[in-house]
Structure 1
Amino acid sequence: MSDGAEASLFNRGRQEYAKAIDTMASWAMEFPQRKVEEAIGDELVRLMTTKTFDDVSVAMLVRSG
């Protein structure tokens, strides 16, 4: 993830990812790729752009099973 998204999705002090990462991974396993991309994009715009002026990109690789 870019540093703009990382500021919202990763706690450096505790070295933990936000619960939103698990949510996005579960979406990726449950819904078609296009729908997941749209939902994550909408959330990035809605939530993270209010916290940072930096880029807010996230790339995910999810393996089921």
Structure 2
Amino acid sequence: MSIRLNGEHIELPDSIKTIEDLLQHFHLQNKMMIVEQNREIIDQKAFKLKKLNNDDHIEIVHFVGGG
């Protein structure tokens, strides 16, 4: 499957089916973040249910602490 992730075209392994799978693939599952799928903000509770589709546009914004 191919998607646009934060503006870049990427190919995903067949094992990635949901937003939760995508976050685990990039080791982001335990970070505080906002995920948008095709311009719709996805509730964190729905990550494991929300299916990815070919040509989806995904934006991930995660927060970094510091000072």
TM-score of the two chains, using structure 2 as the length reference: 0.28
The structure where helix makes up a greater share of residues is 1
Structure possessing the higher relative contact order (Cα contacts under 8 Å, 6 or more residues apart) = 1
The structure where strand makes up a greater share of residues is 2
